[in-house]
């Protein structure tokens, strides 16, 4: 998976044993530091930092594998929901500069109150449904 400009990228130098599914433009791996049981990553083979840098066929390939990974998790782990996310750029929390889509299985009871999901990146603004919620931005 490596390209000359990305030899130090952990996703460009993946050992084949890490790859769960693949197509000609993307791969699926299990997250090395999972936040939930079954936490999965889908990434393009080409070293690209942003979702917005993907060529349309690459985007299609990533989304095809995202669907496949979700089907697998649904059959094996039977989660009750999913969070799907991309940290696109350092300001958004991206620490590995190779695009990767997180597919995070969620299970009833894994959080006391899961409402708001990805909105909790800004905890002070996440709760819009109760009186304690943040002000509109």
pLDDT for position 136: 52
Domains, the chain, with CATH or none:
4-106 (3.30.428.10)
Q: Specify whether the CB–CB gap between 40 and 20 falls below 8 A.
A: yes
CA distance 24 to 31: 21
CA distance 50 to 121: 19
CA distance 63 to 5: 25
pLDDT for position 130: 77
The two tokens of residue 14 are 């993946």
Backbone phi, then psi, for 13, in 5-degree steps? -120, 30
Q: Specify whether the CB–CB gap between 86 and 100 falls below 8 A.
A: yes
pLDDT for position 119: 80
CA distances from 12 to 9, 98, 103 (A): 5, 8, 19
Q: What is the mean pLDDT of each run of 10 residues along the chain (137 residues)?
A: 66 95 98 95 98 98 98 98 96 95 96 85 75 57
pTM, 2 dp: 0.87
Sole residue written with tokens 């109760």: 130
């Amino acid at each position: 998976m490596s390209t000359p400009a990305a030899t130090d990228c952990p996703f460009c130098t993946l050992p084949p044993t890490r790859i769960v599914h693949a197509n000609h433009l993307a791969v699926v791996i299990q997250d090395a530091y999972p936040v939930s049981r079954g936490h999965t990553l889908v990434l393009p083979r080409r070293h690209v930092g942003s979702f917005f840098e993907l060529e349309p066929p690459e985007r299609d390939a990533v989304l095809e594998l995202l669907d496949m990974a979700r089907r697998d998790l649904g059959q094996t782990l039977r989660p009750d929901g999913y969070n799907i996310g991309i940290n696109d750029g350092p300001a958004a929390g991206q620490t590995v500069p190779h695009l990767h889509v997180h597919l995070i299985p969620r299970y009833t009871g894994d959080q006391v109150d899961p409402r708001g999901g990805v909105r909790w990146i800004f905890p002070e603004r996440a709760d819009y449904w109760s009186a304690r919620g943040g002000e509109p931005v």
